[in-house]
């Protein structure tokens, strides 16, 4: 047992009483999504009001808290008033006055700014009644959206650094590893390797210099949970890293963040600075013998740097080309020293496991996958956003309950899970309890947790082409199967969407995919064919329609479709002609228009623009 010079309980009490003085807390989401929707202007407006009106009638004081991402990005700007148990959605600057006057001062809810349930069309006032939130179990994301991400005090108020204090007092690194092992926590970045085991391997090399790295290079298109944690609760991440570093005997750490996340970088820098100033990080943390310094490394735009050995190469200032394993980072990692690399979400789970115990964590989830998992729910679903549910939740619950079903009453077709390394699942998989093993069995993977929902208007071959184009662009170019193999997969898929595919192409796709899977150097290469393999498995008909019938059933592939104007529906409004980028549409006002097929580039601008649904594709 060790004694610390910071009494975390006393600190929590102090912070609580400080927070009491804030009066009515108004939480305005200042995550990337809401900022894009004007959150900063909303905050400014609120602040003007606070100053202008002085003492409120209902409350002594209001305090505006800019928070991290709530996850309900679809509905931004989100304004939450916890004491009044209300969350307003799609708030604009001009709505601020009404919220203040009517609700805060007058006690009358502003109905028109409440969330509308897409199924029942009812307006819902209380968070706990909104399906999007109701079905979630927030652990890693617990504080995101509920605290001021830029304040260490706010983090302390929600148990921040309590777990770190606990392990430092206990002073037994092996006990920390045992707890994590027992909790069953697995890596949330993709591969699902047991976190405790990773730590144990690295801890076996304790003694010399070791490193603790946090992988914040969230490159999977369609995933943004790590961004939300870094932006919304940076101290939890720092605490998780410090606990891991203590466990493995590291005194230096790096957070590798994508350059595309400037806000996350800014907030992390601020959090590190404040934590160091107040001795929650740095030399002799809280008066203990443990010291831990964290640096931030900004990525520069390379998906492959999410692969751990490539990430280390990038930290070392080199091209992010993966290195062969073995040696594994636990033995020979950054600068040739033992290293643990964990993903952001994994580390965000660590403090709460230490605080509430391994049993609490392992009581959630399935047999082989414990705890909760975040998913980024996007695409053609009503409620896009970031969610967290226990492992084993089904796709149906996520897409139809939390997600509120498919947009515009369209039909569900598939969901792409796990990003470019994952696969496409269909109707028949909606009731599979999602965990690492179950998804692997059906040819997909949890990956980082991107869920892109697709409706009947999505062409699955085009989606496979999209992913292959992505992987090909992002291949590091080092090993032959990935560099040359993905190029050829892409070439074949391009042929198919252009209507020039042959039946032998299907065979080549399958053969080449198998060789890439077996032969590529790194995990990214090995999983690159997954989108092709899974779509071939479940949507072979659609491939065949492109190849044999030269048709794109979803009407997406431009080479296989034609836009025509239905003269009976055309009112001659000229909107299509004005939107056509190549001037392929002719016609005079109030007379039916015509598309010149030789000029048409099949971009679909006319189709989107027509107010009378007179443009037909097919």
Partner 1 sequence: MVEEKSINLTKVDEIINSYEGKKTNLIAILQKVQELYSYLPMEAMTYIGTKMEGLSPATVYGVATFYAQFSLEPKGKYVIKMCDGTACHVRGSMPVYNSVISRFNLKNGKYTTEDGMFSVETVSCLGACGLAPVVVINEQVYPKMTTDAMKVILDDIIKQERE
Partner 2 sequence: MTNTLFINGKEVEFTNEPNLLEVIRKAGFQVPTLCYRPDLTQFGACRMCVVEIKYPNGRVMINSSCTTPPEAGTQVFTNTDRVRKIRKTVLELLLANHDRECTTCERSGSCELQKYSKEYDIKDIKYVKKRPEEYLPIDRGNPALVRDPNKCILCGACVRACSEFQGHSVLGFANRGSKTRVQPLNGMALDKVDCVFCGQCKAVCPTGAITINNEIDGVWKALNNPEKKVVVQVAPAVRVAIGEMFGMPVGTNVIGKLYSAMRKLGFDQVFDTNFTADLTIMEEANEFIERFKKGENLPLFTSCCQAWVRYVETQHPELINHLSSCKSPQSMMSSIIKDMLPKTKAAEGYTKDNIVVVSVMPCSAKKAEIKRPQLMTNGQYDTDFILTTQEFAHLIKSAGLDLKDMEEAEADSPFGEYTGAGTIFGASGGVAEAAVRTAYNMLTGENLTNLDIETMRGVDKNSKVKDTVLDIKGTKVKVRVVSTLKEAENSLQEILNGTADFHILEVMACLGGCVNGGGQPISCNDATIKVKRAQALYTEDKELTLRNSHDNPDIKKLYNEYLEKPGSHKAHELLHTSYSDLFKGSYKDLK
161, 303, 400, 412: residue in contact with partner 1 (rule CB under 8 A): 303
Applying CB under 8 A, the span of 42-50, 241-249, 504-512, 562-570 interacting with partner 2 comes to 504-512
Q: Which residues contact 344 (CB under 8 A, 6 or more apart)?
A: 188, 214, 215, 216, 218, 225, 226, 229, 230, 237
Q: Name the residue nearer to partner 2 (CB basis): 13 or 502.
A: 502
Q: Name the residue nearer to partner 2 (CB basis): 110 or 521.
A: 521
- CB 465 within 8 Å of CB 494: yes
d(CA 315, CA 477): 19
Q: What is the DSSP letter of 398?
A: I
d(CA 102, CA 262): 36
Q: Name the residue nearer to partner 2 (CB basis): 148 or 307.
A: 307
Peptide linkage before 110 cis (omega within 30 of 0): no
Please name every residue paired with 342 in a beta bridge, in sequence order, or none if there are none: 214
Binding mask 280-309 for partner 2 (x = CB under 8 A): ----------------------x-x-----
481 binding partner 2? (CB under 8 A) = yes
d(CA 559, CA 541): 19
Q: Name the residue nearer to partner 2 (CB basis): 457 or 511.
A: 511
Q: Name the residue nearer to partner 1 (CB basis): 180 or 453.
A: 453
Q: Name the residue nearer to partner 1 (CB basis): 24 or 78.
A: 78
Give me 548's structure tokens.
């044999």
- CB 456 within 8 Å of CB 554: yes
Long-range contact set of residues 329-337: C-beta below 8 Å, sequence gap at least 24:
329/202, 330/198, 330/201, 330/202, 330/204, 330/205, 331/201, 331/205, 333/211, 333/213, 334/211, 334/213, 334/254, 335/209, 335/211, 337/208, 337/209, 337/210, 337/211
How far apart are CB 193 and partner 1 at their closest, in Å? Answer: 24
Q: Name the residue nearer to partner 2 (CB basis): 28 or 520.
A: 520
d(CA 267, CA 30): 12
Residues 411-440, interacting with partner 1 (CB under 8 A) = 416, 419
Applying CB under 8 A, the span of 229-237, 397-405, 424-432, 477-485 interacting with partner 2 comes to 477-485
Q: Which residues contact 300 (CB under 8 A, 6 or more apart)?
A: 259, 314
317 binding partner 1? (CB under 8 A) = yes
How far apart are CB 420 and partner 2 at their closest, in Å? Answer: 13
Q: Which residues contact 75 (CB under 8 A, 6 or more apart)?
A: 89, 90, 115, 383, 385
| Residue 542 binds which of partner 2, partner 1, none (CB < 5-8 A, kind-dependent) | none
How far apart are CB 488 and partner 2 at their closest, in Å? Answer: 5
194 binding partner 2? (CB under 8 A) = no
Give me 477's structure tokens.
């170019």
Residues 322-341, interacting with partner 2 (CB under 8 A) = 323-324, 326-327
Residues 444-463, interacting with partner 1 (CB under 8 A) = 450, 452, 454, 458, 463
Q: Which residues bind partner 1 (CB under 8 A)?
A: 32-33, 35-37, 72-74, 76, 218-224, 227, 258-262, 297-303, 314-321, 376, 378-380, 384-386, 416, 419, 450, 452, 454, 458, 463, 466-467, 470, 473-474, 476, 579, 581-582, 601, 603-605, 608-609
Q: Which residues bind partner 2 (CB under 8 A)?
A: 302, 304, 319, 321, 323-324, 326-327, 472-481, 483-488, 491, 508, 511-512, 514-516, 518-521
């Amino acid at each position: 047992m060790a004694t610390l010079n910071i009494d975390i309980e006393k600190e929590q009490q102090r912070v609580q009483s400080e927070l009491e003085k804030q009066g009515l807390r108004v939480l305005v989401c200042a995550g990337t999504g809401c900022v894009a929707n004007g959150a900063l202007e909303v905050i400014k407006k609120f602040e003007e009001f606070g100053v202008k009106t002085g003492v409120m009638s209902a409350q002594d004081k209001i305090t505006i808290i800019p928070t991290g991402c709530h996850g309900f990005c679809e509905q931004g700007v989100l304004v939450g008033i916890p004491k009044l148990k209300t969350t307003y959605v799609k708030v604009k600057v001009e709505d601020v006055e009404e919220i203040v006057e009517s609700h805060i001062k007058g006690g009358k809810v502003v109905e028109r700014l409440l969330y509308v349930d897409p199924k029942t069309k009812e307006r819902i006032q209380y968070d706990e009644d909104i399906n999007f939130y109701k079905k979630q179990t927030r652990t890693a994301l617990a504080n995101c959206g509920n605290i001021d991400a830029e304040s260490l005090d706010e983090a302390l108020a929600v148990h921040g650094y309590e777990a770190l204090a606990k392990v430092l007092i206990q002073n037994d690194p092996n006990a920390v590893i045992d707890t994590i092992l027992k909790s069953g926590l697995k890596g949330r970045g993709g591969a699902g390797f047991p976190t405790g085991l990773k730590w144990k391997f690295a801890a076996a090399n304790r003694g010399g210099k070791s490193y603790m790295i946090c992988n914040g290079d969230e490159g999977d298109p369609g995933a943004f949970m790590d961004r939300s944690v870094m932006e919304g609760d940076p101290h939890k991440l720092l605490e998780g890293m410090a606990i891991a570093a203590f466990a493995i005997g590291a005194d230096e750490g790096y957070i590798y963040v994508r350059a595309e996340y400037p806000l996350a970088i800014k907030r992390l820098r601020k959090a590190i600075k404040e934590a160091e100033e107040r001795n929650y990080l740095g030399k002799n943390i809280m008066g203990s013998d443990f010291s831990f310094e964290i640096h931030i490394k900004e990525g520069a735009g390379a998906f492959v740097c999410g692969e751990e050995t490539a990430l280390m190469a990038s930290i070392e200032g080199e091209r992010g080309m993966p290195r062969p394993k073995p040696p594994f980072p636990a033995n020979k990692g950054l600068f040739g020293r033992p290293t643990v690399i964990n993903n952001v979400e994994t580390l965000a789970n660590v403090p709460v496991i230490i605080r509430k115990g391994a049993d609490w964590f392992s009581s959630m989830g399935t047999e082989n996958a414990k705890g909760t998992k975040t998913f980024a729910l996007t695409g053609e679903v009503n409620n896009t956003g970031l969610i967290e549910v226990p492992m084993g939740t089904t796709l149906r619950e996520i897409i139809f309950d939390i997600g509120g079903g498919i947009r515009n009453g369209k039909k569900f077709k598939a969901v792409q899970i796990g990003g470019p390394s994952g696969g496409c699942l269909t109707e028949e998989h909606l009731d599979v309890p999602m965990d690492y093993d179950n998804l692997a069995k059906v040819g997909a993977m949890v990956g980082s947790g991107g869920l892109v929902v697709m409706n009947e208007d999505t062409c699955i071959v085009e989606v496979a082409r999209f992913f292959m184009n992505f992987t090909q662009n992002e291949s590091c170019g080092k090993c032959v199967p990935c560099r040359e193999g993905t190029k050829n997969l892409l070439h074949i898929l391009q042929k198919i969407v252009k209507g020039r595919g042959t039946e032998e192409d299907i065979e080549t796709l399958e053969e080449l995919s198998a060789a890439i899977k077996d032969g590529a150097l790194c995990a990214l290469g090995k999983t690159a064919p997954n989108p092709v393999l899974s779509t071939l498995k479940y949507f072979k008909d659609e491939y065949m329609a492109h190849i044999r019938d030269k048709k794109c059933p979803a009407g997406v592939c431009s080479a296989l479709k034609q836009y025509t104007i239905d003269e009976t529906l055309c009112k001659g409004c000229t909107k299509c002609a004005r939107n056509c980028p190549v001037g392929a549409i002719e016609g005079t006002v109030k007379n039916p228009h015509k598309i010149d097929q030789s000029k048409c580039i099949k971009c679909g601008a006319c189709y989107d623009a027509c107010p009378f649904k007179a443009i037909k594709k097919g």
